[in-house]
Amino acid sequence: MARPSIPRGRVSGNVSMRLTGMKRQVTSLGGLPAVRMAWDTLGMNSILLEHSFEKRSGAPATELAFAVTVEHLAQARSNVELEKALQDPVLAACIGGRQVDETTLSRFRNDNRFDWGGVLEGVSERLQSFDLTRADEDGILIVDDTIAEKAGEKIEGVRRLYDSSAERYVTGHSIVNLVYSGRRVFYPLACEIVLPVSDGMEYLTKNDLALCMLKGAVRRGFRQTVVHDSAYLCDDLMQFLDSANVPWVSKCKSNRILVYHGRRLHAHELGSILGRSRFRRHKRYRDIEYASAIAELPGHGLCRFVVVRNFREDEPEGADVGIKYLLASDESVHGSTVVRLYKMRWKVEEYHRSAKQDLGLKDYQGRKLRGVIAHLMSVALAHILVVFMKACLPRLKGASTGQLVRDFICTSCRVNSHGARLTVLYDRILPYSEAIRHYQMARAG
């Protein structure tokens, strides 16, 4: 029988047809295999198992922990959005090809058997085993808090708080963070929620929480200079750090009592005395001027007192900065060093902004406090994964968290599926494609 003739015709050059044993798919999370590699390199599953994450039936808790952590990098802002994201072939392959629904995710977040705080501490210890992320001796520990504004009054732990940045009262959670900042990396060490006082129950204040977190950090070997604002300049914190021989630098209020040449003076009075002499211009920050002296701080002893002009923090552009006062526990430290160390405290504000804008710190919807804690800890873990990837991949070093999420992780790519193996085809013209190609991280499964 004669074969039917096929009429000749023109086919667009953009269309090609070929026989293949592979199934072609599309992913919106082309950079996710690199995140899974960072997760495995850190040994996250073993850390999770050490903190009771094996106590669960159904989908393994370690894979669900990866899913809720990646949620922040995949731009999913709820359990429903995460369930949809899990339909992505790459994300499904990274958690073992399991189908997970919204109910499972909700139950996992609210499970009180999992020690999320212990996981964050375990990860910070694991980071010390890598040269690129090990804490430097000249790094600092920063204590600060931020507010996650929430409208729902039935959410556990919410209360009315004064937001100094917005200069108004809001309803939400007050979150205290302890973070490490060094020359190469910056990552959180601990995170706690300040709970409201209720009848018949006693809750820790943010100073108490900061003290607990610092005790844990010192126990794990972190003895870098602690930097914080005036809200944390309290006797308990000073006494602990002094007893542990950990130096600290703090901002102080203008009415703080100091002893100078036998006279009890407020900080603003001592600042006026020092201001009569000529201020020095800081060598690194040329717009900042400072003057310093050794004074005695009641409850601590001798310290370095520094009065600073033109030190801009969160003041809006054009606003009067005014005079600020700093204290350092080591009276032998130079005034310019005190200014430089306190200037480094701004890194925690960058972390808060990035966590809210890029990782969805405020975008939790559950009412149970346990779920809120799981959300906050998974945000911190997502940030650590980004930091670790940037440390391991030099071509990602200059990217911000937002750029990494938008241009590297949440990137549309083609996927080849052959049996249980999945290959992401990363286009050469896409941002950071050199990082993927150089380190051969484009495979998952």
Question: What is the tens place of the pLDDT at every residue in 243-287?
Answer: 999 999 999 999 999 999 999 999 999 999 998 777 889 988 888
Averaging pLDDT over each range in 97-111, 332-346, 397-411, which range is the top one? Answer: 332-346
**pTM to 2 decimal places:** 0.89
CA angle 160, 165, 168 (to 5 degrees): 40
Residue 127: C-alpha distances to residues 11, 34, 121, 132, 138 (Å): 55, 17, 10, 9, 17
DSSP, res 445: -
CA–CA separation, 408 vs 435, rounded Å? 9
Shortest CA distance to 188 belongs to which of 133, 113, 148, 149? 133
Residue 436 pLDDT grade (very low, low, confident, very high; cuts 50, 70, 90)? low
Instruction: Return all residues near 33 (Cβ < 8 A) that are at least 6 apart.
Output: 90, 94, 424, 441, 442, 443, 444
Shortest CA distance to 105 belongs to which of 90, 87, 86? 86
CA–CA separation, 53 vs 46, rounded Å? 9
Beta strands in 244-381 (DSSP E): 248-252, 257-260, 263-266, 280-281, 289-297, 301-309, 323-328
Higher pLDDT, 121 or 421: 121
CA–CA separation, 442 vs 416, rounded Å? 11
CA–CA separation, 392 vs 337, rounded Å? 31
* SS3 of residue 249 by DSSP: strand
Question: What is residue 276's predicted lDDT score, i.e. its pLDDT?
Answer: 77
pLDDT > 80? residue 123 = yes
pLDDT > 90? residue 133 = yes
Q: Are 33 and 441 in contact (CB under 8 A)?
A: yes
pLDDT > 70? residue 207 = yes
Instruction: Return all residues near 442 (Cβ < 8 A) that are at least 6 apart.
Output: 30, 33, 423, 424, 425, 426, 436
Question: What is residue 19's predicted lDDT score, i.e. its pLDDT?
Answer: 44
Q: For all residues of the chain together, what is the average pLDDT?
A: 86
pLDDT > 80? residue 237 = yes
Least trusted range by pLDDT, from 6-15, 381-390, 394-403, 413-422: 6-15
Question: What is residue 83's predicted lDDT score, i.e. its pLDDT?
Answer: 87
Question: What is residue 277's predicted lDDT score, i.e. its pLDDT?
Answer: 75
Residue 138: C-alpha distances to residues 211, 214, 224, 407 (Å): 21, 17, 7, 33
For the segment 338-345, the average pLDDT, to the nearest whole number, is: 94
Residue 198 pLDDT grade (very low, low, confident, very high; cuts 50, 70, 90)? low
Both tokens of residue 299? 């409850």
Q: Are 214 and 141 in contact (CB under 8 A)?
A: yes
CA angle 27, 28, 30 (to 5 degrees): 75
Question: What is residue 197's predicted lDDT score, i.e. its pLDDT?
Answer: 63
